Amino acid sequence: MLYARLLYVARADIRSASPPPDSLAPSLSFLHGALLPDALWWPLVDASRTLLLTGVLALIHPGELIQIFCGVAVGICYAMLQIWCAPFRMPGNNLLSLGANLALVFNLLSSLGVQFNASYDAHKAIDPEVLEIILFIAGSAVLLATLFTLCVALSRRLTPEQLRQYLL
């Protein structure tokens, strides 16, 4: 709620090209610096995703397939919202965020497969090697996207301040 209140109070100054010297906008740049001016609400969306995946879903049929299925649904919804909104100033940050969201979805899907195999042992509907490959690809995707973004930033011969802004 503090995010929302701070960004709401300073929204006009954040969106203006030159905020007044006594504005909160420069002090809050750690919250909105990497975001487009129209996407000031994105930290709240990201915090709600975390709350849903770690808090609310823990209460929905713990240990059952429906719990992981709900997590997959939430992950897909947030990935689609991130694609639709593209809230970050730099395309590399949008790509990295999308890669992280998709890796989360792949991890949840493979967890769903592991739980399915554990629940229905006699039928082994999903090959465990396929699940291992999916988990490896999901983990590697985030690492590769991060390295790619860093290489693009370094190839542009950015100053340290520009590089810090790019990576935030």
Residue 148 has what pLDDT? 79
Q: How far apart are CA 148 and CA 167, in angstroms?
A: 12
Q: How many Cβ atoms are within 10 Å of 141's Cβ, its own excluded?
A: 16
Residue 52 has what pLDDT? 92
The predicted model gives 58-85 an average pLDDT of 88
The predicted model gives 50-58 an average pLDDT of 89
Q: What is the pTM of this model?
A: 0.69
Q: Which residues contact 81 (CB under 8 A, 6 or more apart)?
A: 45
Residue 122 above 60 pLDDT?
A: no
Residue 30 has what pLDDT? 74
**Structural contact between residues 86 and 94, judged by C-beta atoms closer than 8 angstroms:** yes
Write down the residue that tokens 């750690």 correspond to: 30
Q: How far apart are CA 150 and CA 123, in angstroms?
A: 45
The predicted model gives 62-85 an average pLDDT of 89
N- to C-terminal Cα separation, the chain: 22
Residue 168 has what pLDDT? 60
pLDDT band per the 50, 70, 90 thresholds, residue 166: low
The predicted model gives 78-90 an average pLDDT of 89
Write down the residue that tokens 């770690």 correspond to: 54
Q: How many Cβ atoms are within 10 Å of 67's Cβ, its own excluded?
A: 17
Q: How far apart are CA 160 and CA 116, in angstroms?
A: 48
Average pLDDT value for the chain: 79
User: What stretches of the chain show up as alpha helix (H) in DSSP?
Assistant: 2-9, 11-15, 29-32, 42-51, 65-85, 91-119, 128-155, 160-167
